[in-house]
Structure 1
């Protein structure tokens, strides 16, 4: 492992510094280890990262100390695919449709806290009702609720009667697509979600593999979103939908399972294009992924799971996400989702990078979070043990800082 240190910058007036020390600091990428390291935080910003002995000589007498022997400090985790409006029950759709905004928002706030308890300091919410995720995002930023930073998509675009139509994003034709993108942007969306294919959560809609939008419609959504400075996330299970999304220039592909009418159809030339264009793939590996294998059978599960590893080997950038909120995809087991990649044989360093640095870059936040470096937002996680050597250490959350706000989990994780 290499060692490194961050330079110390001047302290801001009017704030209290905090020095966090541990046996090691993973500043990012995860392969960069600072033994007996420290992170110096001033307000919402990281001001220095380096060896403990070096930073201790530069702090003032008023600096607070948080010492964590036997622990690791790493960047706060990032879940790139959640639905805070869904409650992970057997029927989250009925709950969303029956609850009023006040009750739904209260449930969303509780689920956001659960994510923070598990060391998740940034989430990308890929579909809610009435821009409630924006309201929650703003409340968290103002300190009204504990929770991670939320990158909100607001209402996902879908066809009339299509996947997740009940969230209010039904559109048909170029004019309506452009209008919905602009409306979402006006509501505070930071990403545009397009339901390119069907999904199992919506009864009576398109099959999961079946395309809802073709290339021309996706291109219109991308053109309008990019014109507003917003990235596009494409929900795409089917091979045809994945290919159209890549050709249209989306920024991330969600799920990317390569389903076809009679099984699966991996388009190798499209995989090459995904890698060449730097499009990130979020498989949305639920913490309940082992149940998926049981439900679909070992052979089919092995085919789907093995394809994830193969895409990575072809140079496709994978990012961590749980699809939290859909049935059995809980909000309090982010480590369970990361376990999916350990099962596939990914090394610990790569798994942690998928949930920190790589995720931040894919969400266009790579200059703000995903690393521990001077000038970055103080999204900091302290866990017991060494998560590179043993990913289970991520479950042992000792301290979380989200934008500099210190949070100790309500219950052990």
Structure 2
């Protein structure tokens, strides 16, 4: 059985845009895209006139165990493991509906994201492809400690890294600085040292895995980059020296612009902890400017929302893309950052992340072309995962 969708606009994820084109799917793989697909026969043919096809999105920074409530750490502290698992499943479904077919979950208490990933792979539940970190690794009392593994010194960090990899983590998450949501810590203050992070990076590399570092302050970002971290999360305070260092090391930025945006927008709700509001307001403009500077300098970007933080809901991936566009990224660059470049961060770009023959058939159909209207990112009509329609609006 084969499926061809024709008369469509296609963004391949590699920067190419094909008009009046087609895509041919057989089983769970893409057989042909573009002119070759136009001339091939198929068992089922769909006329997609006026529609646009993109690779399935990757959200490279989410928290499936957090719902976007005003105080997510309070929620985590009262959730049982069973309730958290149900929460992961409910939020995973919301991701699929928004066109996100793959997620990188960067922090779940009890490593529940890894169990959720395994349940999806075993066919017990449906959801996005999950690349999970399990519990993040933090210094004692460090940012995110309510859902993390606390460790101090290179030896302890190395042991916890090995334990996390033993649990099946796809990526190790480390906290290089303080953050907005944790009380009593400064987003600009360094936490794990360069050498501590380097120990974890070494363990990840030995296991063939990648790393991510929550890093908001300049010194902490530089420590993480020199330690060999794969991605910098947030990157709120980036100066020219730090940006050049990231380019030198090939470090990818996952900006999560939506996270402070939603805290600032909802500051008067009376629900968000006051310490988080104060810190988010302090960081907000610097974050946007750092992102603009990084894009203009040529830092590679992978899209991620930090979904689960206050009022930052799962299923609202489009908001991050809109904020990235405001921050000077072109529509095609945004699409690449949310597809092929994201897959490359996870070393799976040869299997997924773009619409090319031989790759897994994860793709979405939009009702319009995002280069004509940015609102197209909110008009996800159909989602295919592994060649199977998993959602239709």
Q: CA deviation at 1:237?
A: 0.6
> Relative to 1, partners in 2 of residues 1:336 and 1:44: Cα closer, same or farther, differing over 3 Å?
same
Cα contact 1:287–1:336 (8 A) shared by 2: no
Other-structure match for 2:192 = 213
Q: CA deviation at 1:224?
A: 1.5
> Relative to 1, partners in 2 of residues 1:22 and 1:146: Cα closer, same or farther, differing over 3 Å?
farther
Cα contact 2:68–2:309 (8 A) shared by 1: yes
Aligned residue among 224, 242, 255 for 2:221: 242
Separation in 2, partners of 1:293, 1:92: 17
Calculate the TM-score normalised by the size of structure 1: 0.87
Other-structure match for 1:158 = 138
- Residues 1:368 and 2:351 are matched in the alignment: yes
Aligned residue among 72, 79, 82 for 2:52: 72
Separation in 2, partners of 1:185, 1:299: 35
Calculate the TM-score normalised by the size of structure 2: 0.91
Separation in 2, partners of 1:27, 1:149: 19
SS of residue in 2 equivalent to 1:408: strand
Q: CA RMSD in A?
A: 2.1
SS of residue in 2 equivalent to 1:319: coil
Q: Which moved more, 1:299-308 or 1:185-194?
A: 299-308
Separation in 2, partners of 1:290, 1:95: 18
**Unmatched 5+ stretches in structure 2:** 268-277
Other-structure match for 1:45 = 29
Cα contact 1:335–1:394 (8 A) shared by 2: yes
Other-structure match for 1:59 = 41
Aligned residue among 302, 305, 308 for 1:322: 305
Separation in 1, partners of 2:75, 2:175: 21
Aligned length: 382
Other-structure match for 2:244 = 272
Separation in 1, partners of 2:282, 2:131: 36
Q: CA deviation at 1:46?
A: 1.2
Higher percent of residues as helix: 2
Cα contact 1:287–1:335 (8 A) shared by 2: no
Q: CA deviation at 1:99?
A: 1.5
Other-structure match for 2:234 = 255
**Map of 1:100-139 to 2, 5 A cutoff?**
100-139=80-119
Q: CA deviation at 1:293?
A: 6.7
Q: Deviations over 1:305-346 (max 9, x none)?
A: 122111111111111100001111111211111110122232
Other-structure match for 1:5 = none
SS of residue in 1 equivalent to 2:191: coil
Separation in 2, partners of 1:300, 1:46: 43
Separation in 2, partners of 1:403, 1:277: 34
